[in-house]
Structure 1
Amino acid sequence: MSSNNDQVVIPMLRRHTNGLPEMISTDGETITQGAVLSFHNICYRGQEKRGSLLRRRTVEKEILSNISGIVKPGLNAIMGPPGGGKSSLLDTLAAREDPCGLSGEVLINGVHQPANFRYNSGYMVQDDVVVHTLSVRENLQFSAALRLPTTMTNQEKDERLNYIIKELNLDGVANSKVRPRELQKRTSIAVELITDPAILFLDEPTNGLDPSTANTVFSLLKSISEQGRTIIFSIHQPRYSIFKLFDSLTLLASGKLMYHGPAQEALEYFESAGYSGEEYQNPADFFLDIINGNVPSINREEENEAEETEQLFQREKPVIEALAEFYANSAFYRDTEAELERLAGGRNSRSLAFREITCVTSFFHQLRWIFWRSFKNLLGFPSVTRRQVYATILLAAVVGGTFSVLKNDCTKIQNRFSWV
């Protein structure tokens, strides 16, 4: 991907007491500290090994093909079938993908993505990284100690922790162990909010959750996004109660863009493409059925649709290629391209001085807190810890008993060296 030496960082969302993002003024222009992320012509080719063990060869595979779009503050979903490229796009936008084979641009508020973007954004992986033997508050304390600057006082860090705990409705379980799956997800989100990032990435946030718990997590994410935060996440097949919370939808298949626009207008878009769903069908299921070829297009001659659209879908070509071409000729694509050109046009002249938050803690500070977490983790498994202590004492007794009968004269010492 293209790079730039401009020292631009992602803003921290400094909120007033009413919870709304603070407005700042730069060169006479009032700007909301919500981050608009745009991606321009993202292409990604990876290496794939094929063939048997003796005749294995490495071939290039196109993972993302010329993907462009804009995500604004709110819930921004990236959907698609398995292997469609949604996780690769998410990692690319989060600056976590291998740059080898990657091309295109990612802009933040119209300027190039900074080199320290990973420190200024939050990223929650599929598998929770919280320590289950620690309480919610202790997990947050560990994250705050490593990710917040040492110039902040303990009182300021505690105030930050209490604010996040209250914001995520964790007051009643703040001192409880992180055991239930829902609590693990909410704690993982809280850990990423420690630095108050303007952009939060989530990889399959409903992975391993039952429908009711998934609803609770997304209701929480919706309330967070309404405070001016940009949340971008990959998701496979959400239920309708979750889908209706989405602000924008990016639909990928085989690395190609099927749709990018407002989530609640996607049904109407696919109807214009010649696909009609059932009255009470989940839109997410409907979209994936279309991509997988399980929903036939309606007869456009009988429906008297536009001539160019008829010709497009009467061609004998795979559904994915037809949908990608249909999107490239749609009004959504033209509107997105116009806005992308406007954002890209000002990337060399616009440079906003946002607060910079990077990894500023020293090695020994980190080492001390890692020892603290390890010790707390040992206390969380008392039976295992006792067995380890008993085993150590038994081993020491056996080894000590073996050598206790030996004398310390020259002959015995020589005998001991001869054993070695």
Structure 2
Amino acid sequence: MAEELLDIEAETMAAAADQLEATATALFKSSNRPVILKFVDVVYKVKSQKERKFLKNKSRSDENLVILNGITGMVQPGEMLAILGPSGSGKTTLLTALGGRLTGGRLGGTITYNGKPFSNSMKLRIGFVTQEDVLHPRLTVTETLVFTALLRLPNSFSLEEKIANAEAVINQLGLKKCKNTIIGDQFSRGISGGERKRVSIGQEMLINPSLLFLDEPTSGLDSTTAQRILSILLELAKGGRTVALTIHQPSSRLFYMFHKLLLLSEGNPLYFGHGSTAMDHFSSIGYSPSFAMNPADFLLDLANGIPSDESPKEQILMKETVISAYKTSIYEKLKGELEEIRDREIIDELGNKELERWPTTWWQQFTVLLKRGLKERKHESFSIYNITEILISAVFTGSLWWKSDISHLQDQVGLLFFMSGFWAIFPLMQAIFTFPQERMMLQKERSSGMYRLSSYFMSRIVADLPMELILPTSFITIAYWMSGLKPTALNFLHTLSVLLYGVLVSQGVGLAIGSVLMDLKKAAILCSVLVLIFLLAGGFYIQHVPTFISWIKYVSVTGYTFKLLLGSQFKPNETYPCGGEDGVFCKVEDFPSVKAVGLERQFVCVVAMGVMLVGYRLIAYLGLMRIG
């Protein structure tokens, strides 16, 4: 029975592979053109700081750290190149350079695509799967791929065709069973690791790339799942794509699936050529395993300098011998092959025509990102924790100030200040998490040219509005009518509008701090300090602020909100009973807590907060430009 099930599974996988190959080939012929990837003498250096000790003094001197040292190779359509090497050998750096995503440092050498350098048109024909599966955890598999299709596929595709392409990729990658399951994360259960990797690959397959780069696609997967992933990649290569991937320690079954192999050690190339001939090359220079073993394990031992139990000096000598053998027997021959391929290189039918930088319009990007953001954020924004926190706070606040009236003016002023302070802290602390949490997603999607930074930024701002406006509205609706504030619709709406205005400004402060620092710990500390300053400078606790530090009140969001809230309840020349049973009335504006802030110049507060509303968001956008 078990054997029959295995036979059925094998036949099913074979049929799926045939269907995938046929579909991939048909799509490829109707869309992108083959690309020959060549890289010659690629060198990458970064500046590092090294401490040197001279007696008791320390001085720093700049030096260049070589990450890649003269890497040469070529991958043609229909081939799959595996970049093999131990940790720190430069695999990911090389793959990033080949994918046109390497920034910073000093990149030398030549990398060409059909004989041409990297360009925007080539960027739209490259798929890049990062080692980390950066996916939205609350979206389902179908939603993830459909949103990606809507953003990455050009407008030459209709809406129906984009959705159909996403469905086709789901079927091709064997994700049909989990299509309606969320991606999941450490807090919510979702799809498996292998399925997550296939979703990441599917996001890149949607654009039908000419070149597909994958960083450690089998990392953390069992051998069976890893083989399934590589089988999919092999079929994609057979469809006419150029595939390059990094891999750390493949099994022997995976090793023999690679068309070409590049072995690195500390940034130096040790071998480039067909994987099937790698062992013969090293045997010819005197290095071969003493017993039967996985070829990949033996090559990694060579790259680490420990093929056997040799001494450290012999290991260093061995590394020098292997590098020298590469230069004499492989490098020169490889350079000759690269010269020969130049004459018969594939002609790119796109010619020198530059494609549109963005596949969709600004408005399309904004609407799709907004829909995606609302689907992703609704679980976090309206979680049971947040809703319960706000409801309990509102009921508790209303209970403390239950039916207080203007005869208890200090209590009412205290309530207004509490509201201004609470709704300065809550949105600010929520907003600092917005961009640091999405940094990896933003870098990944922006690197692939998926959307403009401005469309992402505006969609994030708008997507956060439900949480930023609905929760404080719920709070004030409960607390306002329980407490003794003026029970008229006009006063209630005035108070609500002021509170929401302050919430939006406070949110801008959090967004600015989060995007500039991009470090949650540092951002939380800075926000705590700012909140304390805003509260102290709000005019309630301290009424006689020294002149040299009085300027702080002009940047205090709490201070402006508090003043506007006072204006929503009290008017100039309004009185309150101040003489107990004697029937004496005093002006509200003369009450110490009110007089320190004042009821006049309300419009100035509105304008000042408007400037901060826009200014802090502008700072946040400029902060994102550094990483986007």
| TM-score tier after normalising by the smaller chain length | 0.7 to 0.9
The 8 Å contact of residues 21 and 33 in structure 1, kept in 2 or not, is answered as: no
Between Structure 1 and Structure 2, the one with more helix by share is 2
Once the 2 structures are TM-superposed, how far is the Cα of residue 378 of structure 1 from its aligned partner? Answer: 3.5
From 588, 591, 601, the counterpart of 1:412: 588
* Counterparts of 2:50 and 2:95, CA distance in 1: 26
Which is further off, 105-114 or 227-236? 105-114
Q: In structure 1, what is the equivalent of residue 536 of structure 2? A: none
Superposed CA RMSD in Å reads 3.3
Q: Call closer, same or farther: CA 1:215–1:24 in 2, change over 3 Å.
A: closer
Q: Tell me if the contact between 1:90 and 1:233 (Cα under 8 Å) persists in the aligned partners.
A: yes
Classify the secondary structure of the residue corresponding to 1:38.
strand
8 Å Cα contact 1:45/1:61 also seen in 2: yes
Q: Residues 18 and 393 of structure 1: is their aligned pair in 2 closer, same or farther, counting only changes over 3 Å? A: closer
- Residue pair 1:34, 1:229 contacting (<8 A) in 2 also: yes
Of the three residues 69, 82, 85, the one matched with 2:73 is: 69
Superposition pairs for residues 62-141 of structure 1, below 5 Å? 62-72=66-76, 73-98=78-103, 100-141=105-146
Distance 1:237 1:395, change over 3 A: same
Q: TM-score, normalised by structure 2?
A: 0.55
Please tell me whether the aligned partners of residues 111 and 350 of structure 1 are also in contact (alpha carbons under 8 angstroms): no
Give the Å deviation of 1:372. Answer: 1.5
Alignment of 1:355-394 (within 5 A): 356=355, 358-380=357-379, 385-394=383-392
Whose RCO is larger (CA < 8 A, sep 6+)?
1
User: What is the DSSP-based 3-state SS (H/G/I as helix, E as strand, rest coil) of the residue aligned with 1:405?
Assistant: coil
The TM-score, its normalising length taken from structure 1, stands at 0.81
Shift of 1:263: 0.8
1:352 aligned residue: 349
- Where does residue 3 of structure 1 map in the other structure? none
The answer to whether the 8 A contact 2:249-2:297 is kept is: yes
SS at match of 2:25: coil
Segment of structure 1 superposing worse, 368-377 or 74-83: 368-377
Aligned-partner SS, 2:128: strand
Cα distance in 2 between the residues matched to 1:163 and 1:88: 32
Aligned residue number for residue 165 of structure 2 = 160
Match of 1:220 among 202, 213, 232: 232
1:256-267 paired onto structure 2 within 5 Å = 256-267=268-279
Distance 1:39 1:125, change over 3 A: same
Verify the 8 A CA contact 1:77 1:235 in the aligned structure 2: yes
Q: For residues 285 and 192 of structure 1, what CA distance do their matches in structure 2 show?
A: 30
Q: How does 1:248-397 map to 2 (within 5 A)?
A: 248-296=260-308, 318-330=317-329, 332-344=330-342, 352-353=349-350, 356=355, 358-380=357-379, 385-395=383-393
The gaps in structure 2 that reach 5 residues or longer are 1-19, 184-189, 398-418, 420-475, 487-568, 573-586, 598-628
Residue 557 of structure 2 is matched in structure 1 by none
Q: Would the aligned equivalents of 1:145 and 1:369 in 2 still touch at CA under 8 Å?
A: yes
Correspondence for 1:309 = none
Which is richer in strand? 1
Q: Is the 8 A contact 2:28 2:208 kept in 1?
A: no
Q: Residue in 2 aligned with 1:211?
A: 223
CA spacing shift, 1:387–1:52, aligned 2, 3 Å: farther
Whole-angstrom CA distance in 2 between matches of 1:76 and 1:189: 16
Checking the alignment, whether the CA contact within 8 Å between 1:124 and 1:203 is kept in structure 2 is yes
Letter of the 1:61 partner, please give it: L
Looking at structure 1, the residues matched to 589 and 341 of structure 2 have their Cα atoms a distance apart, in angstroms, of 80
Cα distance in structure 1, aligned partners of 2:106 and 2:273: 27
What number of residue pairs does the alignment pair up? 382
Q: Is the 1:252–1:259 Cα contact (8 Å) retained in structure 2?
A: yes
* Distance (Å, rounded) in 1 between the aligned partners of 2:595 and 2:230: 69
**Percent identity among equivalent residues?**
28
Taking the aligned partners of 1:419 and 1:211, their CA distance within structure 2 comes to 72
Q: Output the CA distance in 2 between the equivalents of 1:226 and 1:16.
A: 7
Q: Distance in 1 between matches of 2:304 and 2:142?
A: 45
Q: Is the 8 A contact 2:80 2:259 kept in 1?
A: yes
**Cα 1:22–1:158 shift into 2, 3 Å:** closer
**Matching residue's letter, 2:89:** G
Q: Is the 8 A contact 2:251 2:296 kept in 1?
A: yes
Q: Distance in 2 between matches of 1:154 and 1:379?
A: 25
Which secondary structure does the structure 1 equivalent of 2:292 belong to? coil
**1:175 equivalent in structure 2:** 180
**1:167 and 1:82 mapped to 2: Cα distance?**
32
* Structure 1 residue runs without a partner (length 5+): 1-14, 26-31, 299-313
Counterpart-to-counterpart distance in 1, 2:588 and 2:320 = 84
Q: Does the 8 Å contact 1:111/1:351 carry over to 2?
A: no
1:102 Cα offset (Å): 1.0
Residues 35 and 199, structure 1, Cα contact 8 Å, conserved in 2: yes
Letter in 2 for 1:326: A
- Distance apart, 1:229 and its partner CA: 1.5
Residue deviations 1:117-176 (CA, integer Å, cap 9, x gap) = 333201111111111221111001111121112342111112211221122122222222
Report the secondary structure of 1:249's partner residue: strand
Q: Deviations over 1:10-29 (max 9, x none)?
A: xxxxx99654257979xxxx
Per-residue deviation at 1:380? 4.7
How far apart, CA to CA, are the structure 1 residues paired with 2:279 and 2:176? 39
Change (3 A) 1:20 1:119: closer
Q: Given that residues 168 and 190 in structure 1 are in contact (C-alpha distance below 8 angstroms), is that contact kept between their aligned partners in structure 2?
A: yes
Give the deviation of 1:210 after TM superposition.
2.9
Contact 2:37 2:114 in 1 (8 A): yes
Superposed displacement of residue 365, structure 1: 2.5
Aligned runs of 1:133-152 on 2, under 5 Å? 133-152=138-157
Instruction: Return the alpha-carbon distance in structure 2 between the equivalents of residues 346 and 247 of structure 1.
Output: 20
Deviates more, 1:216-225 or 1:256-265: 216-225
Q: Secondary structure at the residue paired with 1:188?
A: helix
d(CA) in 1 for partners of 2:222 and 2:24? Answer: 30
The CA distance in 2 between the partners of 1:395 and 1:345, in whole Å, is 75
> Per-residue deviation at 1:181?
0.9
Q: Which residue of 1 aligns with 2:46?
A: 46
Moved more, 149-158 or 76-85: 149-158
Answer yes or no: is the 8 Å Cα contact 2:146–2:166 preserved in 1.
yes
